[in-house]
Amino acid sequence: MTVAATTHLAFDGSGVDGSLFTSITDIARDTKWLNTPMEVWTNLGLGVFAVLMVMGWWSARRRGTEAMTVALAAPVAVVTAFAAAEVLKKFVAEARPCRSMPHAYLVDSCPAPSDYAFPSGHTTVAAATVAALFLLDRRLSAIAAVFAVVEGFSRVYVGDHYPHDVLASAILALPVGYLTSLALRRWATPLVAALNSGALRPLLTAEPRAAAQHAR
């Protein structure tokens, strides 16, 4: 199948909220001084969510096996949500705004035709992190939520996604991330407890082995 045919067959999402999309990209056009920071953030900002998960893991080392299980489940939950989003993306096959609305102001370059828009993978990662951390540390989850909103907005601001792509990502990622973490907390806690008595103990608890044995 040719590139032209692929583009033609892709779903055109501009009819859903194209006007809202252009309203946001018009902001980008009028705030060119913000374009570079937003373009950098929209990709590198995902590192913030990794840092928050690492912070959750570090804190969980002092909170017991169940908390550590949830901390270790967080990246699994994020990957699960991202995989679900990628499957949905291929199924819906929504063309990127740069192809459906080429005359809009776009900060980011246009990706390949096979790189579809619905839902937003970046926002999926952000929202899934919020959900995964919710069971572990509400404060970290709230911080992640703030950054997730910024991440979602940036995806529209740079012209990579429609607003409904971002919204759909949150609707998908929040329950998938939460339920995955919840399931792993129930099923994987015995495994983490077993690992806690082996060579991986320093990674799973801040309590020295000698102190733990003395406490018994």
Q: Which residue has the tokens 């819906």?
A: 92
Torsion of CA 41, 144, 77, 187, to 10 degrees: 160
The pLDDT value recorded for residue 53 is: 95
Which alpha helices (H) appear in the chain, and where do they start and end?
Answer: 3-9, 14-30, 32-44, 46-60, 65-92, 97-100, 121-134, 138-157, 163-187, 189-195, 201-204, 209-215
In whole angstroms, what is the distance from residue 41 CA to residue 153 CA? 11
Q: What is the pLDDT of residues 150-174, one digit of tens each?
A: 999 999 999 999 999 999 999 999 9
Q: Which amino acid is at 193?
A: A
Q: Above 70 in pLDDT, residue 209?
A: no
The pLDDT value recorded for residue 210 is: 44
Identify the CA nearest to 165 among candidates 31, 11, 4.
Answer: 11
Which alpha helices (H) appear in 93-137, and where do they start and end?
Answer: 97-100, 121-134
How sure is the predictor about 4, in pLDDT bands with cuts at 50, 70 and 90?
Answer: very low
Q: Above 70 in pLDDT, residue 49?
A: yes
What 3-state DSSP class applies to 205? coil
| Joined tokens for residue 135 | 């069971």
In whole angstroms, what is the distance from residue 53 CA to residue 56 CA? 5
What 3-state DSSP class applies to 94? strand
Q: Is residue 62 exposed (0-12), middle (13-18) or buried (19+ Cβ within 10 Å)?
A: exposed
CATH of 17-206 among 1.20.120, 1.20.144, 1.10.3470, 3.30.70: 1.20.144
